[in-house]
Homo-oligomer: A and B are copies of this chain.
């Protein structure tokens, strides 16, 4: 820890801890015409991916079918993790049971909700900062690889 804030290794450790314990995020997608969309979602982190659930007829699913990328924000305004990545849409009958069981502990279970499905965000770039001086050096994953 310097005046510039946490180093990359510490930010990465803090981020992995946050992703493991947190179950709520903000998910941003964009419509085909470029209109931004933003919605709160529940999620579980399996060590590599974030799994969410939502209604098939939601704007988020419509946007992701047009362009399967999203940015998620986890944490608070002054202790934030931002995750850019690609999103796969997974039918309830195709989800792996351990992930589905973990997700059912934090949100309504898409396997029990007609018209619901899973979204799975695979991080490609991750930023983490706690304060304005920490903005430089925020990038802790790029190209799908942790830098630390």
Q: A38-B38, A38-B82, A108-B132 are in contact. Are A26 and B73 (CB under 8 A)?
A: yes
Q: How far is the CB of A104 from chain B (nearest CB, A)?
A: 15
Per-residue B-contact encoding for A120-134, CB less than 8 Å = 1, 0 else:
000000000000100
Residues of B near A29 (CB, < 8 A) are: 36
Q: How far is the CB of A52 from chain B (nearest CB, A)?
A: 12
Q: Which of B35, B72, B78 touches A69 (beta carbons < 8 Å)? A: B35
- Let me know if A39 and B82 touch, CB within 8 A: yes
Which residues of A (29-69) have their CB < 8 Å from a CB of B? 29-32, 34-40, 42, 66-67, 69
Q: How far is the CB of A57 from chain B (nearest CB, A)?
A: 13
Q: Is A80 an interface position by the 8 A CB rule? A: yes
Residue tally, chain A, CB below 8 Å to B: 29
Which residues of A (91-145) have their CB < 8 Å from a CB of B? 108, 132
- Having A36-B69, A40-B73, one finds 7 other A-B pairs with CB under 8 Å, namely A24-B77, A26-B38, A26-B73, A28-B28, A34-B66, A35-B69, A108-B132
What would 18 A/B residue contacts be, using CB atoms closer than 8 Å?
Answer: A26-B26, A26-B73, A26-B77, A28-B28, A28-B38, A28-B71, A30-B30, A30-B31, A30-B36, A34-B34, A36-B37, A36-B69, A36-B70, A38-B38, A38-B71, A38-B73, A38-B82, A42-B77
By a beta-carbon cutoff of 8 Å, the part of chain A in contact with chain B is 24-26, 28-32, 34-40, 42, 66-67, 69-73, 77-78, 80, 82, 108, 132
